[in-house]
Structure 1
């Protein structure tokens, strides 16, 4: 058995390598150690003690099973395979070892209970998932049991799922409703112990994650009504009652861990009304955008309402239990004869009528940018460079803005530069950030040159880029980033510093870096000095 498995593993390695060309060889040294190692252990109900091991894990090319009963030789099992072993009655510590193609090993100890008596004190918990519709999680624990079978009661799916005693199993139904769930707890004895109940499977009716973050846009390229990314039209009423309350509809502002969104409940028709006397001209925009989440609506109808020209609708399909990003061309309304220079209301209608709820976020009109903030950056364009300072002594913002070049000599004779003040007492990590309108294209180079004016020699300049949409750490900062230090060698004069991004271990050209951050005199508290930066550009 051992020799056969070794031969099969070597054949697998030979086949993998032979199927690659010289430019696509596998670097086995980079393979991670196996993870999530365990085994499903089942036993026959005939008092024989015959246990079947089905090992499981990730990144495994071969398993070893050490039975823990004094058996000297382990069994070798390929992924997807099983092995049987007969035990005497007792409790054993079996060892499951997973091995990768390059020999990395991960092992776990798993108890194997072999009892020739029926399971006792069976406890079963059944719960609806709080974030996924129609998903149910079951956990069963019993004394003397080794595993249990779950019959979920869905028509056309009579076979049970086997689970180790005390472990959980999840199952997603095709439809919500009431199902008879049966749990059969098993030991090595002939007799089993059962539990059954009628359980109501439900639909989740609220999102568990925020809508996608909108891209960075210049103020002149967007008109925002609702959302936290852009400046919204002031005074807008998102819950005007147009008689829907009498049809069973209602509304609220839903707060998801600090991220607010509109919630229209049992949506028949509901709308948005601008402040009295306010209209917006969206004739210069190209699209209206919104993000919509629903568990039970099939479609949403969106109407723009003109103060002088009536209203016209556009219907879009929705996908249940996830955010649907909708972008409707303004031409879809104007082609119906609607004038869009004086929009003062929006209306939403649900399908089916008054039967489901929606959550809506990021409602804004936009057009393709006329000018964008992207690498290279020289601050000469007539657009708003929204530098945002941080790290003052009170943890507030430090001054950062685009100004006229105060020293048009030497390495920099351009007109505009960014000025970053580091006031006295500012944090050692004080700096300023700038959002880009598109992610950095690394075909243009993985080094970044920055022209720097420093008032002293030896000031550390930390250059950082972030993926602003990546998950946040405990301080609210994106977890995908790259940062590289440089040091000034001249004072009161311009010089070019080069930052090699590849020197940062976690750097990857596939990451969507869309934010640039500069830290002047990094690691030192502020002394009231001023630093200037210009010409942030890539090179090879």
Structure 2
């Protein structure tokens, strides 16, 4: 073996030096990389023989060296990609080493602990975590005494082939449609006997109403698009990540059969309001042919006149179209009269939004829509109460120390917050003093007797919540109150600044921690979730109020 390695070195060295004498550039060996993604699948037979089959895999691997780990000074078993290695073990726990060897001799290793036991598994414990943001996603893990591996059946496929996980591993699965699914987990050891557990997972039907902006990304919204005259519709993954829509997300797909006036409509849970100056609708639209898009509003809440705007797509893929109903709207066809085609400026509210792709034409094909919104509205001030439900308020929450934040649909309609609404989602990475702040355009006023703030807060773990007020309008002292959440989902927390407030940390002095009763106005409201601790996870807030 040493002679072979030496010969290889001489050949390579000769090749390098001889290459330097040619006009061509030398090979850049600095770019040579070892194999990647080296791993292996393990299968333990259930006949009490201790036979284990190992199937390695990897990228840029020319051969694999398998060390079974049950003898000292072991010589490896060599197999080629696509092959398997079999080995009979005595009962016990072994560390198997798989070495991926590249064509250049560089290597990558993978280690896996394998337990061979002829005793039936016992004490099977299955954990199923269902995402609160997308209930169609579950994560399954399992543990059991004397278990070598686990077969996981998700229950949504006929004649399902199980997914195999090892002890300590988890597997994520996404269901494609609502329903009740029986998750079955079988624990296997080295023998014939097994033990299994089943749990039912319910994926709820998406039934939240459609409101602007329409993003197609919420799994709880029913994005029903009622089609007519031959068109069809579905929600799918963005198939073309480019242009103005380059981020992975869901989109709506409209397919035209190729007849006149194909289209569809969204019935909006919250009507579009054209009573103010904000009369523009924007839409991201994908097409590979030039085509006119007609956007029409019907269902006037007080009988308002149907009207429409046409925007032209250039056929260049994802483009953002703008429909200005203040300057470009005309009266829609109703029955051939009533001023069809005349200029019109809508001033009311409309509950039905209709889209025609090449309305009077016969263009066929599939077109994609996304991010339909009414931008640039007359913004309302950020002030208490904070509900996250107004499209006219920008609910900015400046995070720090690793926390992140977004506004989304309430993922858990239960407890003190059982109504469908928007909520703020704070995600902690798991470091000290993560949090964020609302900069209030109308300061909180503690000048009177009303010094209590309430917050609806969701957590699935017990955690302290610190509410702090800064930005005193006249230099008032920073102060804070802590309330404890019990980890039971939605709870309403009360922060009494008349009895429980203390002076906040500023620079380590100035009476930090002393009792304090605020009497001024504060423009900045700060929230810490487990401030000094390191609890990670997603937490939800809603309905921040100042009560009497």
**Could you say which TM-score interval applies, normalised by the shorter chain?**
0.3 to 0.5
TM-score when normalising by structure 2: 0.39
